[in-house]
Amino acid sequence: MNKQRYLATYVSICGLFAALSVVIMLAAYLGVTTYAVPALAGALLIIIFLEFGVKSAFTVYLAVSVLSFLVCEKEAALCYLLFFGYYPFLKAYIERVKNKVLQWILKILLFTVSFTAVTLLGVWILGIPVREMNMGFGNFGFALFGLSLEVMFIIYDIALTKIITLYIVKYQEKFRKTLRLNKNK
């Protein structure tokens, strides 16, 4: 493939995935999808990361982050910006650590710090009332909410691993053939 065609394909695919991510982020206006929508939008970056590298994935992440703050529900945009947007490609680097226990400690620590920042910025900047976060159970409700987020993250991480494996094994070659992305040519 000549360089011009590759560049045109590259820009088109990155733009398409950025636009699709923003459209998915718009679903956060439904209310109950505040955390699920950014997780799904971030998972799309797996293909960009695997096909075009970390710089391209990071560029798409930044574009989606900016556009999400302009047109999407702000709490979901914050979740995308502070965790779900960059985690799918950062996961690859964390998993290079040989020790599985250390991998999980790093992942859970990253998630906890990120979602603490989401919560604090949500309260201070977006004005989300703290009483909405306790689910009617007082301080216990807030702790229960945090624990449920940690469990959700573990399930999300395992699902991402399965999705990445499925893409590489079953769909990557078809994707490359369809777009003629053979890197050997």
Whether 92 is in a domain gets the answer: yes
**Residue that the structure tokens 């718009």 belong to:** 26
Q: Is residue 9 part of a domain?
A: yes
Give domain status of residue 59, yes or no.
Answer: yes
Dihedral sign of CA atoms 54, 165, 87, 18 in order: positive
Residue 185 lies in a domain: no
Rounded CA separation 60/79 (Å): 16
Range of the domain at 162: 3-179
pLDDT in single tens digits along all 185 residues of the chain? 578 877 888 899 999 999 999 999 999 888 778 889 999 999 999 999 999 999 999 999 999 999 999 999 988 999 999 999 999 989 999 999 999 999 999 999 999 999 989 888 887 887 776 665 555 556 666 777 788 889 999 999 999 999 999 999 999 999 988 887 655 44
85 closest CA partner among 101, 67, 65? 65
Q: How many domains does the chain have?
A: 1
Residue 184 forms part of a structural domain: no
> Rg for the chain (alpha carbons), in Å?
18
Which long-range CB contacts under 8 A does 127-136 form with residues at least 24 apart? Answer: 128/75
CA distance 82 to 58: 13
Does residue 168 fall inside a structural domain? yes
pLDDT at 131: 61
